[in-house]
Amino acid sequence: MSTSPPAQPSLPPMGWYPDPTGGVEERYWDGTRWTHNTREPMAQPDWQSGLGARVADPRQAGAPAPGPVPQVPTSTQWDHVSMQWREMPVVDQVKRTADGVPLAGWWWRVLGRLIDDLLIGLVVLAVCWPQFRAAYTAVRQWWDTAMADAMRGVPVDSVALANAIQDESTMIGLVSITLTCVSAAFFHARFAATPGQLVTGLRVVPAGQGNHRGGLPLPLAIKRAAGYAIILGLNRLIGLAYIIDALWPLFGDSRQTLHDKLGRTQVVRRAKGI
């Protein structure tokens, strides 16, 4: 006679629970593990019936609780509060959205952006080929003049080069920014990802809604693209805006770039079947 193995205890559903590390905040449990997302405890509501009569809090009136605080593995860690070593829960190191979906890694985002920049660069080269040829001719003429002046001991006029290619440079920059932002808005609204993000397995979702399905809502796609246009425009003025925007996800748990913050979006890993 065979005996069935003892049933495994079911884990509590995803949600906010008292922080198992002993803090006063609540920590998000994604159904299988603790995440880095915390929040202030929700205030106790003043429960009232539909007629305005005061009633008991349903959680204190015998309503089913979401389950016990999940038990998680512990390890010996340094407690910065008590300033001593003690056993503390092992917290998931993966950054996640508010609803528990893993956020995209920084290097994957950089690779996706480089792929997009390469594709946009090829299109801009084709569209602005006359401007590139004119700029190349102006540079060659300036170089020949500069070499001749150097042989005679005359100072090289570097400002002349900037003036010679100013019109072409401005046109190429405008076309590049326009194509980048228009294509990003289209692909995000249609596929929730640009070609580079599709290749690297990433999706753009509304902030805190990692389980969002389908394309990014059009207003958010436009706002995000407009924010990126601002970044690219500033980059032509100060030269560091693009780098600052790319590095910004490294300095926050939400892993948002500046244009993510402007568009209220986050980038997550693409789950299978989405």
Per-residue model confidence (pLDDT) at position 245: 93
Per-residue model confidence (pLDDT) at position 159: 77
Orientation of helix 166-191 relative to helix 106-127, angle to 10°: 130
Per-residue model confidence (pLDDT) at position 263: 92
**Cα within 13 Å of Cα(222), Cβ side:** 3
DSSP state of 48: B
Q: What is the spatial distance between Cα 60 and Cα 52, in angstroms, rounded to a whole number? A: 19
State which H helix or E strand residue 87 sits in: strand 84-89
Q: What is the mean pLDDT of residues 178-198?
A: 95
Mean pLDDT lowest among 28-32, 77-81, 179-183: 77-81
Q: What is the mean pLDDT of residues 165-172?
A: 89
**Mean pLDDT value across the chain:** 80
Quick: pLDDT tens for 89-106: 666 567 888 888 899 999
pTM over 0.75: no
More confident site: 71 or 122:
122
Mean pLDDT lowest among 4-13, 62-71, 155-164: 62-71
Mean pLDDT lowest among 71-80, 157-166, 205-214, 264-273: 71-80
Mean pLDDT lowest among 83-92, 108-117, 244-253: 83-92
Residue 272 has pLDDT above 90, yes or no: no
Encode burial over 202-240: b for 16+ CB neighbours within 10 A, e otherwise: bbbbebebbebeebbeeebbbbbbebbbbbbebbeeeee
CB-count exposure of residue 96 (10 Å: 0-12, 13-18, 19+): buried
Q: What is the spatial distance between Cα 221 and Cα 259, in angstroms, rounded to a whole number? A: 11
Over its C-alpha atoms, the chain yields an Rg (Å, rounded) of 28
Q: What is the spatial distance between Cα 181 and Cα 231, in angstroms, rounded to a whole number? A: 11
CA angle 178, 215, 230 (to 5 degrees): 30
Q: What is the spatial distance between Cα 220 and Cα 272, in angstroms, rounded to a whole number? A: 24
Q: What is the mean pLDDT of residues 64-72?
A: 53
Per-residue model confidence (pLDDT) at position 107: 94
Residue 215 has pLDDT above 70, yes or no: yes
